[in-house]
Chains A and B, each alone.
Chain A
Amino acid sequence: AQTVTQSQPEMSVQEAETVTLSCTYDTSESNYYLFWYKQPPSRQMILVIRQEAYKQQNATENRFSVNFQKAAKSFSLKISDSQLGDTAMYFCAFRGPRSGGGADGLTFGKGTHLIIQP
């Protein structure tokens, strides 16, 4: 079974700073997808960024970018120019051909609570 590990339960940075959230995963698959989701207090899951494993280029979405190291099975999220609205739980997620035994459901890490201080 795939596993996703987020080793930072909580992080706090000042507004406008850059912050990097770490994520590692374990899989025997070669084709898979990785995601970062944001969950604000409303609990709505919001897709931040996605990365296809077959793509070597790191995904970027405005202030959000990833550092995808396939050999190391690492998928970190960098948030540049952090804003107060970025305060939320951030979950790293994996999806493969048979994630968790189901038909490509997501396997989530335990999450990182990111706090942006004014």
Chain B
Amino acid sequence: GAVVSQHPSRVICKSGTSVKIECRSLDFQATTMFWYRQFPKQSLMLMATSNEGSKATYEQGVEKDKFLINHASLTLSTLTVTSAHPEDSSFYICSARDELSGNTIYFGEGSWLTVV
């Protein structure tokens, strides 16, 4: 079946630095990808919708300048957490929509970010 891959699966960075997380659709093209954030023992919260070739659509309350999203190709979206703070530590999950299979949504494996 379709696979969505995230990299890195775990990353530790220092406060004030930036970190990039990649989301790739491995065997289908995705014009739309989604980024979620999940705190421990909580649900997934949609952060933004990543649109290939155009600006991302951010959910209310999500800082655009802090969480930079780039969707430069049909198989890759990146989330960059800029000037990271410890409160940005979380589990980030992406998903991609396969328009050729009935708009089925496939999730990546997720990325643990720890800011120290």
Contacts and interface: CB of A to CB of B under 8 A. Distances in A.
Interface residues of B, number: 26
Interface stretch (B16-24, B38-46, B70-78, B80-88): B38-46
Interface in A84-99: 91, 95, 99
B43 A105 contact: no
Q: Is the interface of A mostly helix, strand, loop or mixed?
A: loop
Interface in B42-78: 42-46, 48-49, 51, 57-60
B60 to A, nearest CB: 6
Contacts of B97: 104
Contact of B43 (A43, A44, A104, A109): A109
B113 interface: no
Contacts of B51: 103
Given A101-B60, A102-B34, A91 B44 contact: yes
A106 interface: yes
Q: Is the interface of B mostly helix, strand, loop or mixed?
A: strand
Given A44-B110, A107-B46, A108-B44, A101 B59 contact: yes
Interface residues of A, number: 22
Contacts of B38: 43
12 contacts: A37-B107, A42-B109, A43-B93, A45-B110, A91-B43, A101-B60, A104-B49, A105-B59, A106-B46, A107-B46, A108-B44, A110-B43
Given A104-B97, A106-B34, 10 more contacts: A43-B93, A43-B109, A44-B107, A45-B93, A46-B107, A47-B104, A99-B46, A100-B59, A105-B49, A110-B42
